[in-house]
Amino acid sequence: MPRITPNLWFDTQGEDAAKFYVSVFPNSKITSVAHYGEAGPRPAGTVMTVEFELDGQPYLALNGGPEFTFNEAVSLSIDCADQAEVDHYWTKLSEGGEEGPCGWLKDKFGLSWQVVPAALGTLMSDPDQGRAQRAMAAMLGMKKLDVAALYAAADRK
């Protein structure tokens, strides 16, 4: 089966973004940097693409110009084991960016992320629908997701 590689379009910040992302996620690295040549369309010698991996998942950053920008229609979701992971990724990725509702944020490059604790999936699929709905209502009022607060809301009667 072919490997699917997300291609992220940047104006000129692809290399900066790749360096930032590999600093945030463990087991990550930049694997290749290619530059524009004399044929253009951007100035020769400027970074064209950066191939990188985030914990083994390949990505490509393209410095394609200002024609396209990120929006919330596409986001990257981080499955976090616990509150410590949520806190780590939320702090790192929201720095210089913008916090959004329900565990969503935009990083300083405009890319949207969902920082999601495993507990959320457990609570949302709880056979007790009242419990699941109380957790959902609590989540809808949060920016960074708080595992203890989600469980506290779920357990209220």
Tokens of 3: 């490997």
**Cα 19 to Cα 28: distance, rounded to the nearest angstrom:** 10
* H or E segment and range at residue 119: helix 118-124
Cβ 78 vs Cβ 25: under 8 Å:
no
**Cα 71 to Cα 60: distance, rounded to the nearest angstrom:** 18
Residue 3 confidence (pLDDT) = 86
pLDDT tens digits, 61-117: 999 999 999 999 999 999 999 999 999 999 999 999 999 999 999 999 999 999 999
Residue 6 confidence (pLDDT) = 97
Residue 112 confidence (pLDDT) = 98
Cβ 91 vs Cβ 24: under 8 Å:
no
**Cα 62 to Cα 22: distance, rounded to the nearest angstrom:** 16
- Calculate what percentage of the chain has a pLDDT beyond 90: 97
Q: Is the pLDDT of residue 120 over 80?
A: yes
